[in-house]
Structure 1
C-alpha cells in the first residue's frame, strides 16, 4: 500500500507544470510587518544612481528653453505654485552690508587689526566666549545702521504677494527680509538674526534695541540679572553651533514640494545650506543668480551620497539648471522684466525706500536726543 501511495504522489507531482513555483508559507507575523519605507535621502540616492546608470528614463523637461527666458515662461504660464528662494550675503551688498569674501570690501578683508588666529574666528562661538570685543567692534556699525532692503528683497516679497512663494531660506542675519515686509511665517533664517540676544550664562533674553544702547555707550553687552555678568550673544548661529531644528524640519517639509528653486547671492560653500539645493524633485528647475558660478557637478560617489549630484549648467544633458551671471538686483530686474513685473518692482522699491527713509530720520532724531 505504501508503494501505491508513493506512485500516486509521484503521478500528481508529475502533473505539476515546470513553471509553477512551490508556495512557501510566510509566518503570519512576518506577513503583517509593514514594508520599510526609504528615507528621502535614500530615495534621492536610489533615483539619482538609477538615472546615472540609465535605469530610468530621463526626467521630463519642463522648461521651454534652459535659460532665464524659459524660467520666465514657466512662471507666466502659471505652472509655478511653490517657489523656494535661497539667499546669501550677495542679496544685501547693494544695501551697504559687506559680504565675507569680496576683495577689499568683504568682511574678512577688514580683520587684520584684530590679530585673529583666522578670519572665521570672528564668528566662532569658542573665540567669542574668550574675547567678544572683535565681534562687537565689527558688528557695531551694522547693528546701528538703518539698512534698507534691496530690489532683490522686494522681488522675493512680490513672489509672496502673488501667492507663489513657498518659503525663503536665508543665510543672512541682517533681518532685511522682515524689513521688506515678507511674512515671517515664510522665512527660514538658517543662521538666526540680530533681533534678540541671550546671556551666555543664565540665558536671559535681551532685545536688539537694548544691545544697540550698550554699543552706543561703547560697552560690551552684559547681563543685568542679579549675580550675573555674562556676555550677551546675539541669537545668530556661530561656527561650532547647530542650526535651528526648524531648518531641517522645513527642508524635509518644503523641498519635496518645490516646483522652482531660485538661488541668490551665495557661493554655496557652506554646508548644510549648500547641500539642500539637491533636495528638490529631479524635474524641478533651478535658477542660480550670482556673480560667479561657484556651484559645480560632483561625480564622486561619496559627494553624491552626502550632498547630492550638484548642478549641470554646462553639461549636454542639462535640462533644468540655469545660471545667470549677474548681481542679484540686476538678475531680479531681468526676470521681472521678462515677467512684465519690472514697473511694479521699481515702484515698490521707490515707495518702500521713501517710507523707510522717513522712519529712519525719526529714529536718528530720537537717538540724538538720547541721554543717560
Structure 2
C-alpha cells in the first residue's frame, strides 16, 4: 500500500488523476459492472468522488473567484461573432422527451404496461445483453415504439443542426438511441451516438451487418428479426449493458481538447463514461448547461466561465436562439424539415406496408400545456392545438375532425 502511495506522489497531477480514474474503472469491471451501468457499486462511487475531489484541486485554475461570471448573452454574442467555431454538444434524454419519447420506466405509461406481460425482473433488464439473448421480445416491443420515423425532432435538435449548418459544430455526443439527431439533418459523421443507434444492425450469431431500415417491417409487425443467412437474431446496434461502447465514442480524445465551447443539455450526467466528458474540455473553455437541474461538475466544481440555464430544456434553447438572433432562421428551418419528414413518413409506410399511426407531438415546452400536433398516418397535421388545450381536447378535436 505504501509503495502504491509513494508511486502516485511521483506522478504529475494529470497522470495522477488519470491513474485514479483508471482504478475506478477497474473497480467497476472487477465487480462485474458494465461501463455503461447506471448502478455502480458504492465503493466505486466513493472512489470516483475521491478522484474528482483530487482532480478538482489540481485543475480548478479557471480563474479567480472575483472573475466576472459569464451570462447566456455573453455566450450568444461569442457564437454570433464566430468566436466559437468548434462547439461540442452533449445531450441526453431531456432533449427527446419534448418530442413525445416515452419513459419506459414509469408505471402507468402505456409502454411500461405493455412490457409487464414479459415479466421483466426489473425495467433495465430490457437493455441487458444476457437477458436479450434469453428473451429478445421485450426489447423489440420497445424498439417498435422507438423506431425512427415514429417521432419528430424538436427545437433542440434543429438548433444543433443550425450550428452545424453555420460551420460551428465540431461534434454532437448523444446518449439517445431515438435517431432524432439524424432526422433533424445532422450528418452521421458529426454524431457520436454513445449508446448506439437503430440506423444499423448486426446478426448476433454470424455478425452480418444490416441497415436499420431492413429490420423495420419485422419490428413494426411484432416479429423478432432473423438473419436470412444463419437464422440468428438481428439486433439493432444499440449498446446494451454488458457490451463495449462503439469505437467512435473515443473521438472524444481529440474532440474535447479542441473544443472552444461545450453545450450540455437534457442529461443527468450520471451514466459513465459519458458523464466524465463534461470535465474533458480545457479549463479556459466556457461550458453552457441547459437543463432542468444542476448536474455533474456544475454542482461541485463550477468555473467562472460556466453558464447555467435551468428549467425546461426547449425553453432554455429558445432563450439562447433568441439571444443569438436566429429565431426566424430556425423557424424556417423547422418548417422545411416538417415538409421533408412528411415525405419520409410516407416513404417508410410504403416500404413496410404498415400504417404509421397518428400520435400526439408536443412542440415547444415539454408539458401537456405545450402546442401540440396530431399527425395522421400520412404525416399530415390533422389537429393543431394552442397552449390552453389538453390531451383530452386533442382527442375530442381528432374525433370531430373525422366527421
TM above 0.5: yes
How many Å apart are 1:172 and its aligned residue?
Answer: 1.2
Structure-2 separation of matches of 1:88 and 1:177: 11
SS in 2 for 1:256: helix
With over 3 angstroms needed to count, the CA separation of the structure-2 counterparts of 1:69 and 1:101, relative to structure 1, is: farther
Contact 1:64 1:73 (C-alpha < 8 Å) held by counterparts: no
Structure-1 separation of matches of 2:55 and 2:222: 60
How many Å apart are 1:330 and its aligned residue?
Answer: 1.8
With over 3 angstroms needed to count, the CA separation of the structure-2 counterparts of 1:105 and 1:84, relative to structure 1, is: farther
Q: Is 2:229 the counterpart of 1:259?
A: no
Q: Which of 116, 122, 137 lines up with 1:118 in the alignment?
A: 122
How many Å apart are 1:69 and its aligned residue?
Answer: 2.2
Q: Indicate the structure (1 or 2) with the bigger Cα radius of gyration.
A: 1
Q: Is 2:202 the counterpart of 1:198?
A: yes
Q: Is 2:293 the counterpart of 1:292?
A: yes
Cα distance per residue 1:13-68 (max 9 Å; x no partner): xxxxxxxxxxxxxxxxxxxxxxx996595499999858737x9865379x964332
Structure-1 separation of matches of 2:114 and 2:307: 34
- Residue correspondence of structure 1 range 46-125 to structure 2 within 5 A: 52=57, 58-59=62-63, 65-99=69-103, 104-105=108-109, 111-125=115-129
How many Å apart are 1:325 and its aligned residue?
Answer: 1.9
Structure-2 separation of matches of 1:56 and 1:87: 24
How many Å apart are 1:190 and its aligned residue?
Answer: 1.1
RMSD: 3.4
With over 3 angstroms needed to count, the CA separation of the structure-2 counterparts of 1:233 and 1:366, relative to structure 1, is: closer
TM-score by length of 2: 0.69
How many residue pairs were aligned?
316
Structure-1 separation of matches of 2:113 and 2:220: 25
Structure-2 separation of matches of 1:369 and 1:318: 52
SS in 2 for 1:270: coil
Q: Which of 153, 161, 177 lines up with 1:157 in the alignment?
A: 161
How many Å apart are 1:151 and its aligned residue?
Answer: 1.2
SS in 2 for 1:167: strand
Structure 1: where are the runs of 5+ without partners? Answer: 1-35, 297-309
Structure-1 separation of matches of 2:354 and 2:118: 33
TM-score by length of 1: 0.74
Contact 1:192 1:237 (C-alpha < 8 Å) held by counterparts: yes
Q: Is 2:254 the counterpart of 1:282?
A: no
Matched with 1:311 is: 298
Structure 2: where are the runs of 5+ without partners? Answer: 1-11, 22-50, 356-403
How many Å apart are 1:247 and its aligned residue?
Answer: 1.1
Q: Which of 298, 317, 336 lines up with 2:321 in the alignment?
A: 336
Contact 2:92 2:266 (C-alpha < 8 Å) held by counterparts: yes
Contact 2:126 2:138 (C-alpha < 8 Å) held by counterparts: yes
How many Å apart are 1:210 and its aligned residue?
Answer: 2.3
Matched with 1:347 is: 332
